[in-house]
Chains A and B, each alone.
Chain A
Amino acid sequence: MLTQSPLELAIAAILILLATAAIAPVLSRRQNLLISFSFITSAVASLIAVFAGYAAVTGGGVESLVLPIGLPDLPFYLRFDPLSGFFVTIVALLGFMVSIYSIGYVKAFVGHRSVTRLVVFYCLFMAGMLLVLLSDDAYFFMVSWELMAVSSYFLVCFEDDQAQNRRAAFLYLLIAHIGAVLILLSFGLMAGFAKGFENFSGYTFSAMRDSHIPEGWAAVAFFMAFFGFAAKAGVVPLHAWLPEAHPVAPSNVSALMSGVMLKTAVYGIIRVGFDLLHSSDWRWGGVVLIFGLVSAVMGILYALLQNDLKRLLAYSSVENIGIILVCVGLAMIFKSFGMGLLASLALMAGLYHCLNHAMFKGLLFMGAGAVLHATHERNMEGMGGLVHKLKWTAPLFLVGCLSISGLPPFNGFVSEWLTFQSFLLSPALPSPLLNLLIPLGAALVALTGALAARCFIKVYGVTFLGHWRGEHDTVVHEAPWPMRIGMLLAAASCLALGIFPTFVIGWLDIIPETLLAAKISTSASASGWLWLTPVAAERASYSAPIIFIGILVIFATVYLVFHSRTTSVRRAPLWDCGFGKITNRMQYNSTSFSMPTRRIYGFLFNIKETVKYGSNQYLPMLNNRILYHLRVRDRLWQMCYQPFSDASFWLARRVGKLQHGRIQIYLLYSFLTLIVLLVFS
């Protein structure tokens, strides 16, 4: 295996995935065998791809290959460079965990519906994501990109008998497709300025790299690509599909979609912004930064108000993509002023967050899947107390919550810290306006971080803690072993990535070096692997291992001190303030937990609260039934989507009048067309 080059390994992985997809229908009569076989092979393929990606980044070289298929003058070009390698690693790493998880998860469908479709498109989806990262010409990129979109679309509407699922999948595919066409146009624009457009060779990325595009057109190309990719990444206001599609997909698929599919869009933005186009206009970065900030804040606020577990996680993905884009935007701004070192710090923060988000969001979605598996419930209002029943899932999910809330020593904190560090370096920019504005962005990121913590306390507190909130006590059973292993691996990597950031940064450093010609590892690990010092030790430093060990030691010491003595611990009922028994209905739930948020940030949403008093039929003078109804809607939906949809249907009605039914009118059209054309010729 070691004799193979990274690209060969990656291709092997993709071929295994495609072959699995092709074999799957043959096995469709034996569903259990199909599940075990295909998910094990896809796990193996992912593992191979992890090695490939890792080796590509470590090797730092560029490998390319031309496949003999595609258009005759435009065969499929493949290229494996450190940037692709890094993203391949992310995709494959989470893919590996999720594949293992799926062995357990998908078996729950057996007997209810055929899983052949799920298996086929799962493999195609994985292969599509990897191909996107490897492709090196516009055509192949688009083919892979849409392969990814279509296969994930079929995965989203896997449980197709519910209209809601179909609607979600439809919305997803629509927005994805519009985004894809924008990307395509952007490539078309770049190819148009490249050499050899007429004989198809302008479509290769290498031709685009070498082309000189006028500044104005370059901006058009960049923003088309940015919005195209943003539609896939779920950047506000193009995020509408995300909270619809992720919840209805099977949880293993949501984990992949949220954890890694969104990253391919980030990859695209980085590829176009740093590699294909060479601009020195800081406004590009500024726009990316602003969209990132808006997504981060809005995403987490929306997440806070959700009661559906997976929907909440989906919104939180919007937030995290926002943070990644903030870093990318900062890097672009730094780059435009020629500050390579700072740019690479910001880019590093972004890339690190990509990796982290893949891990903890994958973990959380897998956890959500385990909860769903156990309770058949997505609404958090009907859960609670699962910590007592799900002995494995509960702590693993907690790890995910801690990571995503940016708490040391887990991984989320590292990237958040790096982000703040790059923000804190913005005063070095030679533009006074940016000096004043960028810190405000930092404040918004801080707000996002704090709200994320609040949000995930709600998630964990309402789902796992307290008493069961549902109407009847359902039988809750812990997830099978493959699911636990998948989550365990993700949790372990969350911790590892949090504790050993210096290694990761040293590994990744080749990427900013190739893109920006500046590297930070010389300063970042200057004080040894224990200390992360991105710029200089005097400037800022962080040592995750010491914090981790420190807290553990103190914890252990205190615990041992107290447990050497024999003080009795007694269980007692809750204090009920002297009234009657406290019932489960009196607990704080998701809606009440987020009430302060609704009060403070309510103006951003479309909130309708209604309270109805129902009277008791025996004692009419007492109003003892109070019905509270809350509806929170996305205001952006009404602002950005509703008008489009309405206008389309309005236009459709208008256009429909053309087909009036009277043949004379049709003849008149023909006649008038003739007259008009004759007049204008």
Chain B
Amino acid sequence: MILLILLGVNLAATILLAFIGDRKRAPELNIICSGATFAASVFLALSVYEKGPIISGNGFFFVDAFNVYLAVLTAFVSMTTAIFSRRYMRVERSRGKVGHKGMRFYHAMYQLFIFAMLLALLTNNVGVLWIAMELATLATVLLVSLYRTPAAVEAAWKYFILCGVGIAQALFGTVLLYFAAERIFGEGSKGLLWTNLSAVADRLDPTVLSLAFIFFMVGYGTKVGLVPLHNWLPDAHSEGPTPISAVLSGLLLNVALYALIRVKVLVDGATHSHKAGYIMMVFGLLSILVASFSLLRQKDIKRMFAYSSIEHMGIATFAFGLGGPVATFGGLLHMLVHSLTKTTIFFTVGHASQMHSTQEMSSIEGLIKGNPLVGWGLMFGVVAIAGMPPFGVFTSEFLILTASIKNAPFFTPFFLLGIAVAFAALFRKVMPMAFGKVPDNQKPIRVAYVPVIVHMALILVLGIYLPTFLSQWFHMAVELLVR
């Protein structure tokens, strides 16, 4: 029931907003719908917390500790992003960047995107998971090109093609998975249900599954933004409207990684080896290194943080590849805190670039003086994302690093190098923006305070205090993932 509300609200909102998305109160409606989704997700989470995993809809939906936490996160961030987008899009609209049609489209697709992600998270069917992932891509493609600038169209095109091709490979992986499952379950949709698959994981054919994993890795890896499949990500994140960049970075990447992890559990069960883990570690490490070095020479502010997302997804992938309770715990936590932190950063970045009417970092200056919330928000966001305590990212990186030096000491120096370079690159660029005098081209705008403050508070709290229920949750998820 709750599941239907959870998904239905978004779907209904999509249709509704497709018609009235340009009205004066449409942003509020957007917020309310997202809020309702969030409330539903919290109820769902509570029932999972009390009663354990739920399978419903004839086995179509499956909710356990792992995906429900991501669902709550998705619903929450989509709600705060909707709040942010209210003020942000108002400015964009007043500057003539988007018209009536654009607003309708924007709001509808926003809700559709959230729906797709929630569906991907909550479904039990690996095939439907694929469909939802594709839907999420399709919903955002045209949002990226919303402004119709040459750069936006180019970015959207690349996003569309690369993710399309990537996800097609994931479909091939799904076919192979089904192929392996069919030998046990026979014909029918039973063979694609994750619950069934995981129950018989050790009976699945190892050759087929390792082959399938490679296609999944390349397919969903493209969506996660792992190097060398990442090329769409900086473009798409930098050219779309900032709320979309925020949810792409903060949510979509998580969902893709979620899909990958679900598959990895099956593959590990089938092959009884750590091969999948090693592949993920290599991808993760490569992403960390390439992204961090790329960060050094960025000029565009959103592009820079897009690379930072690649780096952090690399860290999370590395952590899950590493396996073991500590690293997996760290990885789960990292997904959560990265999502919160990166969206905060995008909120402030969005306002900052609106204040200066540019995304060029060299023209942005004096944010703290100009607008303390934006300036300090960006500064602390970067402090957090760079892995400094007392913010949550540090906690997860702490766990991952310590686990990596225990289990994979020879990977650790590269990891360290990546972290250090990324740190240097981010601070080098952010300091001149946050500090200094207010330049002439800076104009005051109305800023969304609530999301930034709420997110920062959450990240801060997560850095020094993990509530018991959250950690219980993570432990439950860890148990699901680590056999």
Contact = CB atoms under 8 A, between A and B. Distances in A.
Interface of A: 69-73, 138-139, 142-143, 146-147, 149-150, 157, 160-161, 163, 166, 169-170, 173-174, 177-178, 181-182, 184-185, 187-189, 191-192, 197-200, 203, 648-649, 651-656, 658-659, 663, 666-667, 669-670, 672-674, 677-678, 681
A184 B234 contact: no
Contact of B157 (A203, A658, A663, A673): A663
Given A670-B165, A681-B210, A161 B471 contact: no
A56 to B, nearest CB: 25
B296 A143 contact: no
Given A161-B435, A648-B421, A143 B463 contact: yes
Nearest to B234: A659
A188 B218 contact: no
7 contacts: A72-B471, A166-B435, A169-B431, A170-B427, A658-B294, A663-B157, A670-B165
Given A71-B466, A157-B431, A192 B423 contact: no
A681 B214 contact: yes
Interface string B310-330: 000000000000001110000
Interface string B456-473: 000000011111100110
A72 B420 contact: no
A659 B294 contact: yes
Q: 9 shortest A-B CB distances, which residue pairs?
A: A188-B402, A192-B406, A160-B435, A72-B471, A652-B296, A143-B389, A666-B231, A69-B465, A669-B228
**Which among B279, B420, B432, B468 has the highest number of chain A CB atoms within 10 Å?**
B420
B46 interface: no
A454 B431 CA distance: 39
Given A70-B464, A143-B389, A177-B386, A663 B161 contact: yes
A658 B233 CA distance: 13
B388 A185 contact: no
A161 B369 CA distance: 11
B452 interface: no
Given A149-B388, A177-B386, A184-B401, A681 B275 contact: yes
Interface string B467-483: 11001100000000000
B364 interface: no
Nearest to B213: A681
B325 A198 contact: yes
B436 A161 contact: yes
A146 B398 contact: no
B405 interface: yes
A173 B406 CA distance: 27
A69 B467 CA distance: 9
A681 B276 CA distance: 10
Contacts of B93: none
B232 interface: yes
Contact of B161 (A149, A185, A188, A667): A667
A605 to B, nearest CB: 26
Given A72-B471, A188-B401, A192-B406, A667 B436 contact: no
A677 B279 contact: yes
Nearest to A669: B228
A14 B166 CA distance: 53
A200 to B, nearest CB: 7
Contacts of B419: 181
B218 A673 contact: yes
Contacts of B227: 658
Contacts of A189: 405-406, 409
Contact of B229 (A160, A197, A663, A670): A670
A197 B405 CA distance: 12
B162 A166 contact: no
Contact of B402 (A177, A184, A651, A669): A184
Contacts of B423: 174, 177-178
Contact of A146 (B161, B279, B389, B435): B389
B198 interface: no
B75 interface: no
**Which among B383, B388, B402, B416 has the highest number of chain A CB atoms within 10 Å?**
B402
A667 to B, nearest CB: 6
Given A174-B424, A652-B297, A192 B231 contact: no
B222 interface: yes
Given A174-B427, A181-B420, A73 B471 contact: yes
Interface string B261-274: 00000000000000
Contacts of B468: 72
B333 to A, nearest CB: 9
B420 A178 contact: yes
B465 A670 contact: no
A670 B222 contact: yes
Contacts of A73: 471
Contact of B211 (A187, A648, A681): A681
B466 A173 contact: no
B145 interface: no
Contacts of B275: 681
Contacts of B388: 146, 149-150, 177
A658 B405 CA distance: 29
A192 B405 contact: yes
A645 to B, nearest CB: 9
Given A147-B389, A666-B162, A673 B228 contact: yes
B264 to A, nearest CB: 14
A516 to B, nearest CB: 29
A291 B263 CA distance: 51
Contacts of A191: 402, 406
Contact of B326 (A160, A197, A656, A681): A197
Contacts of B403: 188
Given A71-B466, A143-B463, A656-B294, 7 more contacts: A71-B471, A150-B389, A163-B432, A166-B431, A170-B428, A200-B326, A677-B218
Given A146-B388, A198-B325, A138 B218 contact: no
A649 B161 contact: no
B71 to A, nearest CB: 22
A606 B241 CA distance: 51
A139 B293 contact: no
Nearest to A187: B402
B427 A173 contact: yes
A143 B231 CA distance: 35
B358 interface: no
B41 to A, nearest CB: 22
B67 to A, nearest CB: 21
Contacts of A142: 389, 394, 398
A149 B390 CA distance: 11
B169 interface: yes
